[in-house]
Amino acid sequence: MTFLLTLLAAILVLGPLVALHEWGHFIVARLCGVKVLTYSIGFGPKLAGWRSKKSGIDYRISALPLGGYVKMLDEREGAVAADELHLAFNRQHPLKKIAIVAAGPIMNFVIAIFLFWVLFMTPSEQLSTMVGEVLPDTPAAIAQLPVGDKVVAIDGHDVQTWEAINYRLAGRMGETGKVSITLNANDGSAQTYDAPITDFMQHNSGKDALSSFGVLPWQPTILPIVGGLSEGGAAERQGLQVGDRITAINDTPIDDWISATRIIRDNPETLLAFDVVRDGKPVRLEIMPQGKKDTMGNAYGQIGAMVESSEITIPDAYKTTVVYGPAEALVQSFKKTEQLAVMTVDSMGKMISGMIGLDNLSGPITIAKVAKQSFDISWQMVLSTAALISLSLAVLNLLPIPVLDGGHIVYYLIELIRGRPVSENAQMVGLNIGLLLLAGFMVLAIGNDISRLF
């Protein structure tokens, strides 16, 4: 059932993005006077579809859901009647060819901007960017960031949410240098701190950018009292009981549930010494957190213990409502799209140069799992996930690899400058190289996906 739900979530998120990408090619081709023969979602054998009586276009859904294509009339792919030569793609001006090929990625950019625009206009109550905790032995601790001050900028870029802070810090992955972080104190004064980083997040063991940097938002104080146990979980098997109060783990004092959770998550398959108070008496237990993997394949520990249920009240000082009017939301959506597009290209460069590991590359299995998780959380998360995937599709398709849209654009730019098309032999060599590169990326990405599963 989980597999089927994951597959359905992937189809619901990726299907419209692929369809609209291909529709971009389709509609611009028709506007440019090129005859379209086939509009397909997916590759391979036809599963379903119909042929338009008016235009003769074959609309279809095909068996392999890893993309789609728009097939146009083209002399390079078959004989073309003399009275239709002017409708053939290969006979068009280079600028028309560029417009048709670029329309797909541009459509993905438009989708991302639209979805971000909707999200920015949706009021959301969030934790303010007030620093709640600075983790020891981290860049934030070295820079002596004060708890209680509000983060307002990272490297000179304004930030209003923890998500924005996380993205800005993630953009520094693999780098050595300093992160400039500006905070506002309660009296309104601002101060900028320089936090040193060395190979930032290169060996982060699954930690997110905030934890790696060492700055966390405010979190409620939850007493470390066990309220429930999962049947067959490590905690139950190794003697933890409902009502036990955890006082220390591996001799590290524990004052709240979140501190205990952090140690447990960071130590999968490692025997930990738990000091608890049970019926007023101290008890020491040895518990080994069971190793689990998150969506990105990062290992974490879990013992199967739950906190006592209680209502959590967030103080007003730690809350903020983020909402924009239509115009400002559009500006913010353009800014976010630009930031994430640049970060995506930058990350690719860092993977090629070795600044960050190739294990950061994800394939269709991880994308499907992320899509499923987004449906489990909220409709806002579904839109956010769709926007991020659409943006990634746009950037990836614009890479100057011959088999992708970006590679074709390079050919047509050369044709525009030279006044004649790139030779078919040169295009074929480029196509073979592109296919090899793309196949290599796919094997690596799917390999990473499989390793995250196991």
Active site residues: 22
Residue (of 375, 358, 382) closest to 444 by Cα position: 358
Cβ-contact 371, 363 below 8 angstroms? no
Q: Strand pairing of 252-253 and 245-249? A: antiparallel
* Maximal C-alpha separation, the chain: 95
DSSP-based helix, strand, coil % in the chain, nearest 5: 45, 25, 30
89-122 in b/e burial notation, b at 16+ Cβ within 10 A?
bebbebebbbbbbbbbbbbbbbbbbbbbbebbbe
Cα gap 93→33, rounded to integer Å: 11
Per-residue DSSP letter, 176: -
- Identify which of 15, 100, 8, 9 has the alpha carbon closest to the alpha carbon of residue 61: 15
- CA dist., res. 48 & res. 133, Å (int): 56
For residue 1 the two structure tokens come to: 């059932």
CB atoms within 10 A of CB 48: 9
DSSP letter for each residue of 127-162: E-SBEEEE-TTSHHHHTTPPTTPEEEEETTEE--SH
Angle between helices 94-121 and 405-418 (to 10 degrees): 140
Burial bucket for residue 33 (CB in 10 Å: 0-12, 13-18, 19+): exposed
Tell me the two tokens of residue 158. 């304004």
CB 131 within 8 A of CB 146: yes
